Amino acid sequence: ETDGGLRTGRDVVIAALLGADRYGFGTLPLLALGCKMVRQCHENTCPVGIATQREDLRAKYTGSVDQLINFFRHVAEDARRH
């Protein structure tokens, strides 16, 4: 298992070669969704509207799940090249 530090498909391949069978992605998928990294997730005040349950803040989110799908698709394609 690996968690964090995975940025490219090459990183995933290296982790697999070292024995990982699970891969944890943290920051990069958040950035793909539009996260501004203001580190307010735990306060329920995410200004982008990603990490909050408040309807007024969630309404500000303009992204879509397609952004996340594209991120993982590119990582998978990169892994296939390596």
2: confidence class by pLDDT, cuts 50, 70, 90: confident
* Contact between 47 and 38 (Cβ < 8 Å): yes
Residue 26 confidence (pLDDT)? 85
Shortest CA distance to 50 belongs to which of 65, 28, 34? Answer: 34
Cα–Cα separations (whole angstroms), residue 58 to 20, 22, 63, 65: 35, 31, 11, 14
Q: What is the pTM of this model?
A: 0.80
Residue by residue, DSSP assigns 4-66 as: S---SHHHHHHHHHTT-S-EE--HHHHHHHT----S-GGGT--SSSSS---HHHHTT----HH
What would the pLDDT profile of 23-78 be if each residue is shown by its tens digit? 998 899 999 999 999 999 999 999 999 999 999 999 999 999 999 999 999 999 99
Closest CA to 58 of 67, 66, 48, 68: 48
pLDDT value of position 18: 94
| pLDDT the model gives residue 1 | 81
